[in-house]
Structure 1
Amino acid sequence: MAGPFQNIELDGGQMAALYLLRYDEEGRLRSPQAEREVKDQLAAVTDVYLFAHGWNNVFAQALDRYHGFATGYIAQGTQFGIPRPAGSTPLLVGIIWPSTSFVMPWEGGPVIAGAPDPDGREAAEQEEMLGLVTESLSADDDESFVSAIDGQTSVDPVTARRLAEIVLNSLRTGPDPDDASPPPDPGELLKAWAALRGGNVPGPTPGTTFGTIGSGPSSGAPAAAALSFDPRDLLRIASVWKMKARAGAVGTHGVGPLVEHILRESGVRLHLIGHSFGARVVLSALTASSAERKAHAMLLLQPAVNRWCFAPRIENTGRSGGYRTVPAKLERPLLTTFSAHDEPLTRFFHLAMRGSQLGEPLTAAVGNTHLYGALGGYGPAGLDGDAVVQDAIVPGAASYPLDGSARVIAVNGTVNVTVGGTPVPAIGGHSDISNPVTWWALHDLTRPD
């Protein structure tokens, strides 16, 4: 799409252009004219704000979130009299990348209960997930996979293992880009699959149970012969893998060249904001850049990435996190939010994204949030003095410690803050990312003082 999609009013009657840039699933640019206009305007602007949405954001939703965040941020600046530098001219860029039309764990949580589906929505979601997953399969695997699950709500353990082997061979063939863990083997994937509905798969020791997503462990391990698996949950896990890889590709191959151009060919301050898997988009984009000039700031909102992604050494692997270089590519410390109220990232992420056991005790493998937990659910790990945890700040009350030694500031959104006289969680859920607390965090990162 050419030209600014919208113009958003700033204080004093000034306008900020909002451009939307589309990319396909491999990161190929689909809005070349709009990108040319963005590049042409770099000489006339002082700040570029680049936003990347998360999962389950079709075009209208992405536009609504970009517009809502921008207008809330602008209004808060006016409310608190936050100064903009003389002559400041911002440019807004929203990334539109192919996510999905159906609700996935990061936005609404997988469907755990077998509730009726009178409007056919769940059936439509299953069909879309099936297409997303099977597009990566060989012809033979596609036939076997579809034949085994088509119209099924339960498969036996032998069939489940065969399905697990198929998706692993196609979608999890190398180390995880976040935490460097090797892929799970089929048995480990079966344990995570069962745990999505609070079940357990027997371990090598009789009576051993594995972590679940419920309030506590189940009373015991069922006999393997009695266990059944809902194929919809495997589709959800595999769809998560696909979307994670897609977000990385869009960031590296699509947004990355634009970030590189902005840093090399202009002097504007670049501010990167990403939500959920959109955090992976902006992280991958900056990681891919070889420009010497740094981006000014990065704000990650409930990021769906592994909590060890910035670590110099990941526990049990000796490797560094996939985004270890990012904090050093920023002028200001990286701010990232996390919240215990984010059910998808505290209850589901580590089940879908877990790698191999890495030698830890088997009883901890499935529910291991220490190694496989989400940055947006539990905060960063493995950074020691390079990271600090800071309770979310009430807008106007204080500022984040941007002048300290920490290169990553984890904003605890679990705490209550009083906004408008009412105490509310700073971040009440995975998609609660356009609110006074997050606008204030961005103001702290971008204000001239």
Structure 2
Amino acid sequence: MAFPGNLSNFPFFPLQFDKDAQTVDPGEEQALSTWLQSQGPVDLIVISHGWNNDEQDALDLYKRMFAAFRSVLDKNQVPAMAGRTIAVAGVFWPSKKFADDENIPGGAASAQAVDPLADAFAGASAAADPALLSRLQELMAQENLSIPERDEAVGLLRRLLAAVPPSAEEGSANVQAAAADGGTFSNEVFLQQLTGEGEAAAAGPDSGGAAGLFSSSLDDLTGAVRTGLNLFTFYTMRERAGLVGLNALNPLLARIASHANVRIHLMGHSFGARLVTAAAAAGGRFHPKSMTLLQAAFSQYGFSTLYDGHSNGAFQHVLLQQRIEGPVLITHTNNDHAVGWAYPIAARLKSIIASSIDGGPNDPYGGMGRNGAQKTPQALSKTLLAAGTAGYSFPASGGVLNLESTTFVNGHSGIANEAVAYAVLSAMA
């Protein structure tokens, strides 16, 4: 697609990467590098989308975001940024939505669809074994399945889930182990877990929303397949975001930083937050001046020290080695149902005790966009995302500011507003 040359009068440069973390158009990096070398000092905001189907979805987010940035600057709410040259590099990478308008695995929003599994199969197609997926789709297209065919369908789903990259911190190790377990987790038990029947029985009527999260008015097998494919998509996109950040964005920014007078500021939404964090974690010849994670779709223990008594978060070294020269900002809110439930559902395949799955800060599989950085000594909490000229006290280099954002962020994608822009610009200053 054709990209605009500016967003709200900020020079704009697209950076496209494919699913294998390869540059789509080398000319994009050259265009950005050439422009930077023709300028004086530049503050370059490198932003990555998360769960978007295509370039247009991501571009629309970027347009809304930087319209809010322009408004904050025009009001001179961050005087230290007046007169500074700001440019935007927009990352575009192939991500997929879940089969649900709110990106919540197994939610009821897709129950009204003509084909409730179409989006789930489409989302998984980017990375699944095509033979397994094709056979599963063939089976699910039939109106009535025999018992052996139903058993085959659950087995195919388990084979797909057993192939996800394992992460104890983010719960996929549980999913992988349960999918591969032919003993405790028979196909029948596995099906019950995915549809929520086991939890519903254990939790009782007053246990809150967790028991019904995967419930479906559809046939139990249809609901289980949708849930399972959404899990597969979730973990696949998590892995892909990290690879694009590590293998594509990091070396590109290192090359740019080596021959341009540029201050790099990383900003990522959803899985894009994982992407830019992975870019920073890889180290090298560039040192971002700030990093903002907007409703980050990765573990609340990503930056932690000894979160379970003996393990550190996957990105703990970003803080310990002060890879970010300035502050790290993290927006979080319990309004974010996508992150609030996408992580704790991993526990479903480990236990049928629904009361232990609430998505909050005490949940072992809580998400950062829901709870902020937990068990992280460098993190300051209990700071509210604020509008206008409220002012912030930022931590020193290598520190994190958890921004409780419920007042201004009404959901997983409710980030394009002046309060967020004010916080980011304040950190940049």
Normalising by the smaller structure, the TM-score range is: 0.7 to 0.9
Helix, strand or coil at the partner of 2:239: helix
The answer for the alignment partner of 2:379 in structure 1 is 387
Q: Distance in 2 between matches of 1:324 and 1:299?
A: 16
If the length of structure 2 is used for normalisation, what is the TM-score?
0.81
Whether 1:247 aligns to 2:224 is no
Q: Give yes or no for contact 2:171–2:343 (8 Å, CA) kept in 1.
A: no
Q: Normalising to structure 1: TM-score of the pair?
A: 0.78
CA contact (8 A) 1:188 1:356 kept: no
Conserved? CA contact 2:330–2:400, under 8 Å: yes
1:272 is matched with: 266
Note closer, same or farther for the CA distance 1:315–1:432 as it changes in structure 2 (3 Å cut): same
Q: How does 1:174-193 map to 2 (within 5 A)?
A: 174-175=166-167, 183-186=176-179, 187=185
**Pairing 1:145–2:136 present:** yes
User: Do the aligned partners of residues 176 and 247 (structure 1) sit closer, same or farther apart at CA in structure 2, a change above 3 Å counting?
Assistant: farther
Q: Contact conserved, 1:154 with 1:229, CA < 8 A, in 2?
A: no
* 8 Å contact kept, 1:50–1:271: yes
Partner residue in 2 for 1:418: none
Q: What SS is found at the alignment partner of 1:304?
A: coil
Deviation string 1:155-212 (CA, Å, 9 cap, x unpaired) is 978456523430133224x33575795644223998797566553269xxxx745999
Change (3 A) 1:324 1:212: farther
Identify the residue that residue 51 of structure 1 maps to in structure 2.
47
Tell me, yes or no, if the aligned pair for 1:392 and 1:411 is still in contact at 8 Å: yes
Q: What percent of counterpart residues are identical?
A: 23
Query: In the alignment, which residue of structure 2 is the partner of 1:367?
Result: 357
* Equivalent residue in structure 2 for 1:400, among 392, 403, 419: 392
Q: Equivalent residue of 1:251, what SS?
A: helix
CA distance in 1, matches of 2:168, 2:256: 29
Contact 1:310 1:321 in 2 (8 A): yes
Map of 2:215 onto structure 1: none
Q: Secondary structure at 2:95's aligned position in 1?
A: coil
The 10-residue stretch of structure 1 (93-102 or 303-312) with the greater mean CA deviation from structure 2: 93-102
1:70 to 44, 66, 72: 66
SS at match of 2:198: coil
CA offsets per residue over residues 103-150 of structure 1, 9 Å max, x none?
5576466442674435x5x4541441352353x35x4x4565344434
Q: Which whole-Å CA distance do the structure 2 matches of 1:329 and 1:18 have between them?
A: 25
Q: Which structure 1 residue ranges, 5 or more long, are not aligned?
A: 10-14, 219-225, 415-424
Secondary structure of the residue aligned to 2:306 is coil
Name the CA distance, whole Å, in 2 between partners of 1:426 and 1:332: 24
Encode CA deviations 1:69-107: one digit per residue, 9 max, x unaligned.
112112112213423567632221001111237755764
Q: Which segment is superposed worse, 306-315 or 320-329? A: 320-329
Q: Secondary structure at the match of 2:90?
A: strand
User: What is the DSSP-based 3-state SS (H/G/I as helix, E as strand, rest coil) of the residue aligned with 2:247?
Assistant: helix
Counterpart in the other structure of 1:421? none
Distance, in Å, in 1 between the alignment partners of 2:413 and 2:203 is 32
* Separation in structure 1 between the aligned mates of residue 387 and residue 283 of structure 2, nearest angstrom: 33
Q: Which residue of 2 aligns with 1:419?
A: none
Structure 2: distance between partners of 1:180 and 1:324: 19
Q: Which residue of 2 is the match for residue 260 of structure 1?
A: 254
The equivalent residue for 2:216 is none
Aligned counterpart in structure 1 of residue 88 of structure 2, from 85, 92, 110: 92
1:54/1:155 Cα in 2 relative to 1: closer, same or farther (>3 Å)? farther
- 2-side partners of 1:48 and 1:321: how far apart? 28
Q: Distance in 1 between matches of 2:146 and 2:401?
A: 45
Equivalent in the alignment of 1:341: 335
Aligned to 1:294: 287
Q: Partner letter of residue 412 of structure 1?
A: E
Q: Do the aligned partners of 1:392 and 1:426 also contact (CA within 8 Å) in 2?
A: no
Contact 1:164 1:190 (C-alpha < 8 Å) held by counterparts: no
Pairing partner for 1:21 from 8, 15, 20: 15
Taking structure 1 as reference, are residues 170 and 155 closer, same or farther at Cα in structure 2, changes over 3 Å only? farther
Question: What residue identity is the alignment partner of 2:91?
Answer: I
Change (3 A) 1:181 1:321: farther
User: Judging changes above 3 Å, is the alpha-carbon distance between structure 1 residues 426 and 334 closer, same or farther for their aligned structure 2 residues?
Assistant: same
Q: 1:294 deviation in Å?
A: 2.1
Between the aligned partners of 1:161 and 1:333, the Cα distance in structure 2 is 46
Write the letter of the residue equivalent to 1:257. P
Cα pair 2:210 2:357 within 8 Å, conserved: no
CA distance in 2, matches of 1:212, 1:193: 23
Equivalents in 2 of 1:249, 1:408: separation in Å? 23
* Pairing partner for 2:304 from 287, 301, 311: 311
CA contact (8 A) 2:78 2:389 kept: no
Change (3 A) 1:430 1:162: same
Determine if contact 2:332/2:370 at 8 Å carries over to the other structure: yes
For residue 289 of structure 1, report the CA deviation from its aligned partner: 2.6
Alignment partner of 2:315 out of 320, 323, 328:
323
C-alpha displacement of 1:432? 0.3
Measured in 1, the distance between the counterparts of 2:336 and 2:189 equals 23
How far apart are 1:329 and its partner, in Å?
Answer: 0.9
The equivalent position to 2:198 in structure 1, one of 182, 197, 200, is: 200
Of the three residues 413, 421, 428, the one matched with 1:431 is 413
Q: Could you say if the C-alpha distance between residues 337 and 130 of structure 1 is closer, same or farther in structure 2, counting changes exceeding 3 Å?
A: closer
Give the counterpart letter for 1:304 in structure 2: A
Flag the 1:20–1:354 CA change in 2: closer, same or farther, 3 A.
Answer: farther
